[in-house]
Amino acid sequence: MNIRKLPVKNLERKPVRTAMLIILTALLSLAVFGGTLVERSLRSGLTSLETRLGADIIVVPASAKSQYDLESILLEGVPGHFYMKKDYLDKVGKIEGIEKISAQYYLATVTSGCCSMPLQLIGFDPQTDFTVKPWIRQNYSGELGEFEIVIGGNINSAVGKTLKFYNQSCTVVGTLARTGTELDNAVFATAQTIKALIKSSEALGLNGQTREDPEQIISTIQIKVQEGYDIDDVMNDINIHITRVQAVRTRSMISGVADSLAGTAYIIRVLIAAVWVLALVILFAAFAAMVNERKREFAVLRVIGTSRSRLARIILAESALVSLLGGVFGILLGTAVVFPFSNLIESKLGLPFLLPGTGDILLLAALTLAVSVLVGAAAASYAAVKLSRVDTGLILREGN
């Protein structure tokens, strides 16, 4: 038999031991690949959320701050709605240090039947908007007409189809790229469309929020502060001089999400480290036991003229094969778990979750594979060194 084929033959001869070693390395690479992918996706989600923040300050009705989780509604598009009089837009606009100002209109749909769930409808003023339009423009270049909508990446519909809200049919003209946040479940339209939908919802008796004329109300005021002005000073100015509204700094709201993410990422890193330590110990023990068990086999190979370095290469080749197979299985398993269940992971964690791009994922897979092979080689090197110190004659005499 060709000695080059010996590592493969050795692995084939002991299928249970080989399978166990492959499973072990597969677990190692699953932990590295799956864990890192989830951590990266959480970070991508946060970055995506940060890039969606076009406004420095958001002004909401004072009552909304106590009634709603503003962070979820304003940053993540969790369905909810509140209104204040349109006059506040002019009042806030007079505060010094404001570069851009625009109103937004919120309306949450109601659950109806199987194929609908509460959605956040977000209306913006095309003339003054500086937060939603730049984002929409990445996917839709035209101007939104009445009852035309752009939908978030999680909504299963297509351009040209219609969605019905409060008995009004709206035509989908664009689908936004995923952000990994609840904004993927939101629908964007012009202020006119949202006002018409507010009227329809009131006609159906489904909007108990306001008795005001939809033309005279707004939900939030988005503010971009002029360069040279301190954002906190502008925010405090609004809070001091204008009553019944609350100005909130967007960066302070995102810090809560960032803190939760840091905690989750830390737990994931600890778990990966624990699996690593465990797998490393077991791999070292497994290869050491394997060499012990096969001392006579290696002694015979030495007697027939196989050099010590050749023996070491046989062990390293076996470990490389096992680690490679295990690494590939682990990556495939990680792919099969993380990708199809990404929506479930996102909803269970309650954090922005956006899978990285294909290039990053392929790079991560390659690194995981390299790490698996290196760890396997390290464990086998230890066994090979141990083997090089074995007295061949003594081993063969022990057998007699």
Partner 1 sequence: MKKKNTVSLFLGVCILLCSLSLTVGVRTLFHACVHDDGAFGACHWAQQAIFGAGIVLSVLSLVRLLFPGNGVKLGLDLGIIVNALLAALTPGILIHLCMMDTMVCNALMRPIVCAIAAVIAILALIDTIILGKSAKEGKSA
Binding site for partner 1 (CB under 8 A): 111, 113-117, 153-157, 184-185, 336, 340-341, 343-344, 346-347
Coil, strand or helix at 85: strand
Coil, strand or helix at 163: strand
CB of 157 to partner 1, least distance (A): 7
Of 72, 92, 65, the C-alpha closest to 225 is 92
Compare residues 61 and 180 and give the one whose CB is closer to partner 1.
180
CB of 18 to partner 1, least distance (A): 16
CB of 111 to partner 1, least distance (A): 7
As a whole number of angstroms, the distance between CA 178 and CA 186 comes to 11
b/e code 93-112 from CB counts within 10 Å (16+ = b) = eebebbebbbbbbbbbbeee
Compare residues 348 and 397 and give the one whose CB is closer to partner 1.
348
Q: Which tokens hold the place of 276? A: 């690593």
CB of 343 to partner 1, least distance (A): 4
Report the relative pairing of strands 186-190 and 148-151 from DSSP bridges.
Answer: antiparallel
CB of 115 to partner 1, least distance (A): 5
As a whole number of angstroms, the distance between CA 84 and CA 373 comes to 62
Q: Which tokens hold the place of 24? A: 């072990």
Compare residues 113 and 228 and give the one whose CB is closer to partner 1.
113
Q: Which tokens hold the place of 174? A: 């664009």
Compare residues 51 and 347 and give the one whose CB is closer to partner 1.
347
What is residue 88's DSSP assignment? H
Compare residues 109 and 192 and give the one whose CB is closer to partner 1.
109
Return the CA Rg of the chain: 31
CB of 121 to partner 1, least distance (A): 14
Compare residues 92 and 107 and give the one whose CB is closer to partner 1.
107
CB of 119 to partner 1, least distance (A): 8
> In this structure, what are the phi and psi dihedrals at residue 383, rounded to the nearest 5 degrees?
-65, -40
CB of 116 to partner 1, least distance (A): 6
Compare residues 67 and 343 and give the one whose CB is closer to partner 1.
343
As a whole number of angstroms, the distance between CA 107 and CA 61 comes to 15
What is residue 205's DSSP assignment? T
Q: Tokens 């590295």 map to which residue?
A: 32
As a whole number of angstroms, the distance between CA 333 and CA 186 comes to 32
CB of 160 to partner 1, least distance (A): 16
Task: Yes or no: say if 244 and 92 are a contact pair by the CB < 8 Å rule.
Answer: no
Compare residues 185 and 368 and give the one whose CB is closer to partner 1.
185
Of 362, 364, 394, 328, the C-alpha closest to 25 is 328
Compare residues 7 and 180 and give the one whose CB is closer to partner 1.
180
